[in-house]
Amino acid sequence: MRRENYLQVRNYARQMRREMTWAERRVWEVIRQRRCGGYRFLRQRVVGRFILDFYCAEKRFALEIDGEIHLRPDIAQYDQNRESHLRSEDNLSFLRLTNAEVMRLSDQELSQHILEALQTLPQPSLP
Residue 108 lies in a domain: yes
Domain that holds residue 108: 3-119
How many structural domains does the chain have?
1
Q: How confident is the model at residue 3 (pLDDT cuts 50, 70, 90)?
A: confident
Amino acid at the residue 31: I
**Per-residue model confidence (pLDDT) at position 124:** 56
Reported as a single tens digit per residue, the pLDDT across 21-31 is: 999 999 999 99
Mean pLDDT, rounded, of the chain: 91
Phi, psi of 19 (to 5 degrees): -120, 45
Residue 126 lies in a domain: no
Q: How confident is the model at residue 93 (pLDDT cuts 50, 70, 90)?
A: very high
Q: Decide which of 72 and 103 is more confident.
A: 103
Residue 14 lies in a domain: yes
Q: Which long-range contacts (CB under 8 A, 24 or more apart) does 105-114 make?
A: 107/29, 107/30, 110/26, 110/27, 110/30, 111/30, 111/31, 111/35, 111/36, 111/37, 114/30, 114/31, 114/36, 114/37, 114/63
Residue 25 lies in a domain: yes
Q: How confident is the model at residue 6 (pLDDT cuts 50, 70, 90)?
A: confident
Q: How confident is the model at residue 18 (pLDDT cuts 50, 70, 90)?
A: very high
Residue 127 lies in a domain: no
Whether the per-residue pLDDT at 66 is higher than 80: the answer is yes
Residue 23 lies in a domain: yes
Residue 67 lies in a domain: yes
Residue 124 lies in a domain: no
CATH assignment of the domain containing 93 = 3.40.960.10
11-20, 59-68, 115-124: which range is least confident on average? Answer: 115-124
